[in-house]
Amino acid sequence: MMNTGKIVGVNGNLLTVAFENPVIQNEVGFATLGEIRLKAEVIRVRGTNAELQVFEDTVGLKVGDEVEFTGDLLSVELGPGLLTQVFDGLQNPLPALAEECGFFLQRGKYLDPLPRETKWAFTPTAKAGDSVVAGDTVGTVPEGIFDHKIMVPFRLQGRLTVKSVVAAGEYTVDQVVAVVTDDKGRDHDVKLMQVWPVKMPIKCYAERLRPTEPLATSQRIVDTFFPVARGGTYCIPGPFGAGKTVLQQITSRHADVDVVIIAACGERAGEVVETLREFPELTDPKTGKSLMERTLIICNTSSMPVAAREASVYTGVTLAEYYRQMGLDVLLLADSTSRWAQALREMSGRLEEIPGEEAFPAYLESVIAAFYERGGVVRLHDGSTGSVTIGGTVSPAGGNFEEPVTQSTLKVVGAFHGLSRARSDARRFPAIDPLDSWSKYTSVVDDEELTIARRILREGSEVGQMMKVVGEEGTSIEDFIVYLKSEYLDSVYLQQNAFNDVDAATPVDRQRHVFGYIVHFLKTKLKFEDKDAARGFFQTLTQATRDWNQITFDSDEFKKQEEQLDHQIAEVTDYA
């Protein structure tokens, strides 16, 4: 018998529904508007009333209209066919939706995330009599460049015995490929596809490990100064236009991971469209094939209310956990979590909850922490490891890092890549502030060399601030050289040219070599007749080093340019 309720209140996309039979938190309901059924989620239950957030425009709904409760939690489909797709926050495949609806998407139109007619070549790896647990592999199907593992449903508990497995062949995602029996003798079907609630972490692994291995992003300022760990978390706060989205896109192309999931949970439409257009055309530097073959994009449509931003975030992290369960390394990029938090604030206001700072919900910090905690490195039951690295951008109004979303995020992440308006205006990209940013993870370069470089940057900044007051003429030649050294380090190492094929991505071995060379120069005592001579030398050296950055590593030309740098530096070295 279908469980239904009646609408007793409508406030924007928040419905208050009276019910008779029990309903549960996060249950999916459908508000009926004629033949249109609008998807909603129960976000609070009080007495005999449930409050639901609707993921569609609620125009036309009125008191007395019927709501159908499904008994199912807000969930996603997990199986082969996810990669290369573009989904909305509810996992509707947007290309297929656009084909069916035309230019404007229709309200209440929902499609199967995974195509039911596509057949996949299933190869069994388990056999009858095997003992398994949830998350263990019973077979594989090829999906692009990966062997997609078909796993025992995550919802099953305890030890199970494989009762039967089909022979190798082609099957659709809703066909049964294995049957497992639990300790009470009940049989459970295993299909190529399974369903999992987005608000519940997938925990079918043997052990959670501490992130220790650096994740190479090929961005020098990140890998060297503010590294990210494989399975770690980091955030990129910054004012509008400082380059958050561009930095994420560059990272997604060159990071040393297997799968990239982009959750555009609130970024501007123009940048999302740019991502959708560019990624299918980009060549994956790891495989030489299309970057989309290992990429999955989730973005809201303009017809969806802000409540859908929350669904986008949780859909993205659930899909990331699914691929981690296969032993893959996944990078989840959420852009921008500030707009997700604004959606939480809007719904909290409609629920008439007691507000916290700046009217954000009082539980904002715990919600953000719960999201980032779903990242991490895990050891699976077969001994392999998988990871989910989460990077979220934050868009504080006016670039104010003291606002609640940024502060709540900084308490839980392992690295902080703070973008600076001053560096952005000066066209110093990536615009990560080298003095304010930090990381708790291990760098790819020598710690002693890193300490020297950070000291030069800090002392050079202090001299630069002093020069704004007393002028260049009031600065000693020694302090002026320190300032020029810090500017040199900034120009040739912290900044990268994303439009140059070589300089856009710097491998770790090249970073170690170049950084060691630069630090050795920074330690060198230099001799100049006057400040003009010092300035002229550093201008010439900066251009020569930038040219060096754009030459293929370990080539004859690279070595020749390094020798030229040696010659330039030797001419001004003070050997006394």
Could you tell me which residues are annotated as the binding site for ATP?
Answer: 238-245
Helix (H, G, I), strand (E, B) or coil at 322: helix
Distance CA 483, CA 540 (A): 16
Give the H/E segment covering residue 143.
Answer: strand 137-143
Is 315 in contact with 91 (CB distance < 8 Å)? yes
Beta carbons within 8 Å of 224's beta carbon, 6+ residues apart: 443, 444, 445, 450, 493, 511, 515
Per the CB < 8 A criterion, the answer to whether 336 and 393 are in contact is yes
Q: Is the Cα torsion angle 542, 543, 549, 551 positive or negative in sign?
A: negative
CA 432 to chain centre: 17
State how far Cα 418 lies from the chain centre. 16
* Other residues' Cβ atoms within 10 Å of the Cβ of residue 153: 18
Would you state the structure tokens that stand for residue 94, as one six-digit string?
């947007």
Residues, the chain, total? 576
> Which is it for strands 295-299 and 259-264: parallel, antiparallel or unpaired?
parallel
Q: How many CB atoms lie within 10 A of CB 230?
A: 22
Q: The tokens of 2 are what?
A: 């279908």
List the one residue out of 227, 251, 233, 212 whose CA is nearest residue 370: 233
Contact in structure between 232 and 375 (CB atoms under 8 Å): yes
Give how far Cα 306 sits from Cα of 14, 86, 340, 341, 574, Å.
11, 19, 8, 10, 63
Residues β-bridged to residue 170? 121
Radius of gyration for the chain, computed over Cα atoms and rounded to the nearest angstrom: 27
Asked if 298 and 262 touch (Cβ cutoff 8 Å), the reply is: yes
Residue 251, Cβ neighbours under 10 Å: how many?
Answer: 26
Question: What are the start-end ranges of the H helices in 61-149?
Answer: 94-101
Torsion of CA 193, 199, 205, 211, to 10 degrees: 130
For 353, residues 6+ apart whose C-beta sits below 8 A from its C-beta are: 361, 362
* CA dihedral sign of residues 24, 319, 307, 91: negative
Which SS3 state, helix, strand or coil, does residue 318 take?
helix
| Binding annotation | 238-245
Q: How far apart are CA 419 and CA 246, in angstroms?
A: 12
Sign of the four-CA dihedral 332, 338, 342, 344: positive
Q: What angle do CA 283, 286, 292 make, to 5 degrees?
A: 45
